[in-house]
Amino acid sequence: MRAFVALDLPEEVRQRLNLLAFMLPLPRRVPPETMHLTLAFLGEIPEAVAEEAHHAFEAIHAPAFALTLAGVGLFGGAQARAAFAGVAPEPLLAHLARKVETAARRAGAPPEARRFVPHVTLGRFRPGEADAARLERAVVEHQGFAAGPFAVRDFVFYRSHLWAEGAHHEELARYTLG
């Protein structure tokens, strides 16, 4: 199965992010109900490994924290391929992401080695699909975006189903932070 670990976002934050996404000239937008903050992408893993990972995530002890979303950015530089909302620095978020990564690795599901840049993706597209100049101007214009702070009390193990209409995220388990 295709699996990842993420923070779910409060409904009002997803609505704010959806409004932000509509202020940007994006070819496609992530539907607000599937917006999330990825902690670790495990990729395709066998069910037995997912079971192991679940037990490892259950054993994580990490504090709850407050999170603020701030700013807007593009991944891919001149060849932009995604727009995202940024996250104000929060050491407890990085701490949690490290714990999830270590747990997944121990369970035999080493996450992607890309550096942890906390973000919430608003839209993904192929390079060249978006009007880069307009998009960059809109991103600069909306740098003042902020949402929260909101309480992060748990994290979620998701299974991702890829359908023609887009991704559907099935919640496998939710783990409470202390």
Would you tell me which residues interact with ligand 2AM (CB under 6 A)?
4, 38, 41, 112, 121, 160
Give the contacts of 132 (CB within 8 A, at least 6 positions apart).
Answer: 78, 80
Q: Which single residue brings its beta carbon nearest to ligand 2AM?
A: 41
Q: Which is nearer to ligand 2AM, 4 or 157 (CB)?
A: 4
Question: Residue 58 has which token pair?
Answer: 């259950």
Distance (Å, rounded) from C-alpha 100 to C-alpha 29?
28
Name the minimum Å distance from CB 121 to ligand 2AM: 3
Q: Which is nearer to ligand 2AM, 113 or 140 (CB)?
A: 113
Phi/psi at 118 (nearest 5 deg)?
A: -60, 135
Name the minimum Å distance from CB 178 to ligand 2AM: 25
Q: Which is nearer to ligand 2AM, 30 or 61 (CB)?
A: 30
Name the minimum Å distance from CB 85 to ligand 2AM: 10
The separation between CA 138 and the C-alpha centre of its own chain, rounded to angstroms, equals 21
The DSSP bridge partners found for residue 65 are: 152
Evaluate whether 177 touches 155 at the Cβ level (below 8 Å).
yes
Name the minimum Å distance from CB 4 to ligand 2AM: 4
Question: Residue 24 has which token pair?
Answer: 């940007």
Q: Which is nearer to ligand 2AM, 63 or 154 (CB)?
A: 154
